[in-house]
Amino acid sequence: MTSTKILVPDMGDFKDVEVIEVLVKEGQQIKKNDSLITLESDKSSVEVPSTHEGIVEKIKIKVGNKVNQGDLILSLKSENKTEEEEISVNKEQKIEKKVEDKKPQVIKTKEIIPTAPSSQSGTKSASPKVRKFARELGANVLEIPGSQRAGRVSEEDVKNFIRSQVTVSGGRVEKKIHKEEYPHEEFGEIELKDIPRVKKLSGPQLVRSWTEIPHVTQHEEIDITEMEQFRSSLYDYYSGEMIKVTPLAFISKALVSALKAFPNFNASIDSIHNKIIYKKYFHLGFAVDTPHGLMVPKIRNVDQMSIKEIGEALKKTSNLCRELKIDKKEFFGGSMTISSLGGIGGTFFTPIINPPEVAILGVGKSFDRLIKLKGKIVSRKILPISLSYDHRIIDGAEGARFCVYLSECLGKDFAFKLAV
């Protein structure tokens, strides 16, 4: 047994190319030309094949690494064969090939029955183009049955998989067919427009979330009177100018505190291995309304930020989204998402979970309410919230406790709870 090093090949003018997928694992038997990793640059994605066959001994890179020509990918254990053995093997292969060529070909047709992917292999054969297409539709290549040779996944397989997921929703496909029975133009003038690219990309993800995740939505009203009084009284000590901080910054701080108290909300489900992934980081997603469509970027390590820093990060990230200058990686790796309609209007709604997250917080527009407090009629500022969560790992009692805890963090003792 000898050890062979597999290096990153010549990639032309590209430098610091990101590894987006590792297609093999240690101990796996691979053949020559089997795909090892997928690299993605600004212009394209490409799979790097193995130049040798053998058993993967040690993988030296991981997803997210930046690599260049000559970097070590992995080491292989392989058996050395003598020249006589190689010649003998080649002769046997040639003889077998001649015999097979003489056999009459029998073409059989059969229905391809999709089967669940094997969780043991952890890999799936597909071209970079197909993998990118699947990612844009929010599909996991490992979950898609391949109809081509050796289970390789094609673009048509991805489309069929997405269609099968939509069918699960119970009646949704039938509604689409019903709408197509009569052309819209029969009833009056119409106008056709292309669906914006952002909505094309997010649409399948929303369908997947709504059809696969058992949503439960709970509503709560939070008294934020003291918090709003504090927020509106902030000013710079030296200049005397008022400091504007969005309520979303306070809500974000409170949400991080709630995630620490209820770790099931800062988790994801690994459906392949049937496990729960608990995240030790606190990256919050924010729904940003842009002319191009809704975007949900992430702000990293919110637990390490002050309320003022969160407000600045929100403003900066929103501007990057509207200018289409944000890195696509910033749309991934979140703990939980906040969807705020406070600047527009409305009270309660049903926010759709952004997978692989398991919960989302919807925030409505705050309003004044007259209530009786200590024998007096007073006006209080009320914030309506809507919490949607995945019922597979979060039950109703935990959802209610989460809402109560969040209310306490934003209530009259907010300064103590949030250490403002």
In a domain, 346, yes or no: yes
| Catalytic residue list contains 283 | no
Q: Tell me, what's the pLDDT at 264?
A: 97
Q: Which of 45, 78, 111 is the last residue of a domain?
A: 78
CATH number for the domain spanning 38: value is: 2.40.50.100
Q: Tell me, what's the pLDDT at 297?
A: 95
User: Do 70 and 147 belong to one domain?
Assistant: no
Q: Tell me, what's the pLDDT at 84?
A: 43
User: Do 234 and 321 belong to one domain?
Assistant: yes
User: Do 38 and 150 belong to one domain?
Assistant: no
In a domain, 98, yes or no: no
Is 224 in contact with 411 (CB distance < 8 Å)? yes
Q: Which amino acid is at 151?
A: G
Q: Tell me, what's the pLDDT at 59?
A: 92
What percent of the chain has pLDDT above 70? Answer: 81
Report d(CA 15, CA 20) in Å as an integer: 15
User: Do 160 and 271 belong to one domain?
Assistant: no
From first CA to last CA, the distance across the chain in angstroms is: 63
User: Do 159 and 256 belong to one domain?
Assistant: no
Determine the structural domain holding residue 166 and report its residue range: 128-177
In a domain, 266, yes or no: yes
User: Do 169 and 248 belong to one domain?
Assistant: no
User: Among the ranges 41-50, 144-153, 267-276, which has the highest mean pLDDT value?
Assistant: 267-276
Q: Which residues are CB-contacts of 282 (< 8 A; sequence separation ≥ 6)?
A: 256, 259, 260, 266, 301, 302, 303, 335
More confident residue, 207 or 105: 207
Is 114 in contact with 145 (CB distance < 8 Å)? yes
Going by C-alpha positions, the residue among 216, 196, 321, 322 that lies closest to residue 265 is 216
Q: Tell me, what's the pLDDT at 85?
A: 41
Report d(CA 172, CA 208) in Å as an integer: 13
Confidence of residue 255 (pLDDT cuts 50, 70, 90): very high
Going by C-alpha positions, the residue among 357, 366, 316 that lies closest to residue 338 is 357
Report d(CA 163, CA 173) in Å as an integer: 9
- Give the least confident one: 44-48, 291-295, 363-367: 44-48
User: Do 230 and 364 belong to one domain?
Assistant: yes
* Whole-number average pLDDT of the chain: 82
Q: Which of 177, 207, 240 is the last residue of a domain?
A: 177
Q: Tell me, what's the pLDDT at 202?
A: 83
Q: Which residues are CB-contacts of 224 (< 8 A; sequence separation ≥ 6)?
A: 247, 366, 381, 382, 383, 410, 411, 414
At 100, give phi and psi (nearest 5°): -65, -35
CATH number for the domain spanning 220: value is: 3.30.559.10
User: Among the ranges 45-49, 110-114, 385-389, 410-414, which has the highest mean pLDDT value?
Assistant: 385-389
Q: Tell me, what's the pLDDT at 328?
A: 87
User: Do 14 and 62 belong to one domain?
Assistant: yes
Is 382 in contact with 366 (CB distance < 8 Å)? yes
SS3 172: helix
Q: Give the mean pLDDT of 367-394.
A: 94
* Catalytic member of 52, 215, 292, 391: 391
Confidence of residue 305 (pLDDT cuts 50, 70, 90): very high
User: Do 134 and 31 belong to one domain?
Assistant: no
What percent of the chain has pLDDT above 90? Answer: 39
Report d(CA 395, CA 262) in Å as an integer: 12
At 219, give phi and psi (nearest 5°): -115, 145
In a domain, 99, yes or no: no
The per-residue pLDDT for range 182-214, each reduced to its tens digit, is 678 888 999 988 888 888 888 888 888 988 899
User: Do 291 and 168 belong to one domain?
Assistant: no
User: Do 249 and 300 belong to one domain?
Assistant: yes
Number of folded domains that form the chain: 3
Q: Tell me, what's the pLDDT at 169?
A: 42
The per-residue pLDDT for range 234-243, each reduced to its tens digit, is 776 667 777 7
More confident residue, 155 or 150: 155
In a domain, 236, yes or no: yes
Judged against a pLDDT cut of 50, whether residue 361 lies above it is answered with yes
Confidence of residue 385 (pLDDT cuts 50, 70, 90): very high
Q: Tell me, what's the pLDDT at 43?
A: 59
More confident residue, 109 or 248: 248
In a domain, 152, yes or no: yes
Other beta carbons within 10 Å of 253: 23
Burial label, 417 (beta-carbon count in 10 A; 0-12, 13-18, 19+): middle
In a domain, 119, yes or no: no
Q: What is the DSSP letter of 305?
A: S
Q: Give the mean pLDDT of 78-92.
A: 50
User: Do 18 and 147 belong to one domain?
Assistant: no
CATH number for the domain spanning 153: value is: 4.10.320.10
What is the secondary structure of 103-153 as a DSSP string? SPP----------PPPTTT----B-HHHHHHHHHTT--GGGSPP-SGGG-B
User: Among the ranges 98-107, 138-147, 180-189, which has the highest mean pLDDT value?
Assistant: 138-147
The per-residue pLDDT for range 3-37, each reduced to its tens digit, is 888 998 887 767 788 888 888 888 898 888 888 88
In a domain, 207, yes or no: no
